[in-house]
């Protein structure tokens, strides 16, 4: 089994759409009445969820005339957010055909299919022509890709001159072992966490001017809020990341939180701008 197939298997997705529909029903909603806010707890698969997406979007200057690429789009939450808030056209791409199918269905439920499309494919071989997009985003994707230079060169290829890329990934910040499993990998063979300098150099080699923002404090505050809510609740919410991550959600998220709290890992934003 190849690495791409291993990743697709890791992320799974069997029964996900039915689980989301059941969660909506528990909330008194349906596919006909579901909103972006209803789906946000399950379709923003990164630290901080919707709040992180909002803050990243504010730095990208996306207009209604822009065409945006969402790399590693998952089930499409970030794609739908950008389309709904800016009116831009969005194309999402993900390695998992199952996620792409779910993304298309959820986009239909929320009435955004006229603006948002999805394709299955690799971030290292994007099925798009040169100079196809004005903006691109990548949220919690790079940890599964060893060759960061090839990744960012491929993204630069499909961006137009003056294009901008927003990256929000988990990076290494200190010494110490990463305890597995974590949300992006069950074992070290699928994990390619790099430090911020490697990201910066790879982005610059692809032609981007780069700025970075450490989001460790944001992550710790997010985890504190989650912990308070967990104490106040009797169990997981009807819609949440446990529907995607599966039965070992608590273990995977706990290992990630411990690594961030211990200073081993941290989420970081990178904004890359092409001349």
Closest CA to 244 of 31, 80, 76: 76
pLDDT tens readout for residues 156-194: 999 999 999 999 999 999 999 999 999 999 999 999 999
- Contact 45/106 with Cβ under 8 angstroms? no
**Per-residue confidence at 235, pLDDT binned at 50, 70, 90?**
confident
Number of domains in the chain: 1
Closest CA to 60 of 39, 41, 37, 78: 78
Residue 47 predicted with pLDDT over 70 = yes
CA distance 11 to 96: 8
Q: What is the DSSP letter of 128?
A: S
pLDDT tens readout for residues 100-149: 999 999 999 999 999 999 999 999 999 999 999 999 999 999 999 999 99
Mean pLDDT of the chain: 94
Of 21-25, 72-76, 237-241, the poorest mean pLDDT is in: 237-241
pLDDT of residue 1: 37
Token code pair at residue 20 = 């989301």
- Contact 11/225 with Cβ under 8 angstroms? no
Q: What is the DSSP letter of 18?
A: H
pLDDT tens readout for residues 190-234: 999 999 999 999 999 999 999 999 999 999 999 999 888 877 777
- CB-side neighbour CA atoms (13 Å) of 252: 19
Token code pair at residue 23 = 């969660």
Mean pLDDT of 33-37: 95
CA distance 205 to 9: 32
CATH code, 260: 3.40.50.150
Helices of type H across 87-147: 97-109
Percent of the chain with pLDDT strictly greater than 90? 87
Mean pLDDT of 145-156: 98
pLDDT of residue 257: 96
pLDDT of residue 247: 80
78: domain range? 3-273
pLDDT of residue 7: 58
**Per-residue confidence at 12, pLDDT binned at 50, 70, 90?**
low
b/e 129-154 (16+ beta carbons within 10 angstroms → b): eeebbbbbbbbbbbbbbeebeebbbb
pLDDT of residue 232: 79
Mean pLDDT of 69-87: 98
pLDDT of residue 226: 86
pLDDT of residue 3: 59
First-residue to last-residue Cα distance in the chain: 40
- Contact 169/140 with Cβ under 8 angstroms? yes
pTM strictly above 0.85: yes
pLDDT of residue 227: 85
Percent of the chain with pLDDT strictly greater than 70? 95
CA distance 35 to 68: 21
pLDDT of residue 10: 60
């Amino acid at each position: 089994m190849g690495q791409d197939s291993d990743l697709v298997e890791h992320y799974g997705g069997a029964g996900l759409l039915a689980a989301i529909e059941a969660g909506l029903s528990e909330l008194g909603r349906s596919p006909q009445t579901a909103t972006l806010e209803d789906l946000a707890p399950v379709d923003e698969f990164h630290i901080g969820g919707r709040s992180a997406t909002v803050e990243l979007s504010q730095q990208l200057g996306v207009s209604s005339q822009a065409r945006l690429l969402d790399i590693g789009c998952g089930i499409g939450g970030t794609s739908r957010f950008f389309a709904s808030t800016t009116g831009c056209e969005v194309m999402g791409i993900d390695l998992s055909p199952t996620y792409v199918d779910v993304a298309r269905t959820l986009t239909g439920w929320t009435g955004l299919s006229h603006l948002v499309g999805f394709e299955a494919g690799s971030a290292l071989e994007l099925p798009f022509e040169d100079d196809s997009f004005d903006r691109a985003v990548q949220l919690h994707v790079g940890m599964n890709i060893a060759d960061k230079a090839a990744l960012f060169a491929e993204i630069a290829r499909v961006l137009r001159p003056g294009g901008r890329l927003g990256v929000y990934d988990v990076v290494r910040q200190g010494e110490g072992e990463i305890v597995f499993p974590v949300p992006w990998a069950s074992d070290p063979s699928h994990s390619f966490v790099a430090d911020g300098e490697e990201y910066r150099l790879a982005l610059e080699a692809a032609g981007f001017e780069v700025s970075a923002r450490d989001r460790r404090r944001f992550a710790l505050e997010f985890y504190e809020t989650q912990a308070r809510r967990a104490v106040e609740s009797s169990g997981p919410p009807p819609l949440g990341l446990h529907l995607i991550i599966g039965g070992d959600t608590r273990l995977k998220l706990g290992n990630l939180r411990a690594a961030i709290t211990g200073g081993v890992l941290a989420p970081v934003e990178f904004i890359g701008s092409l001349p």
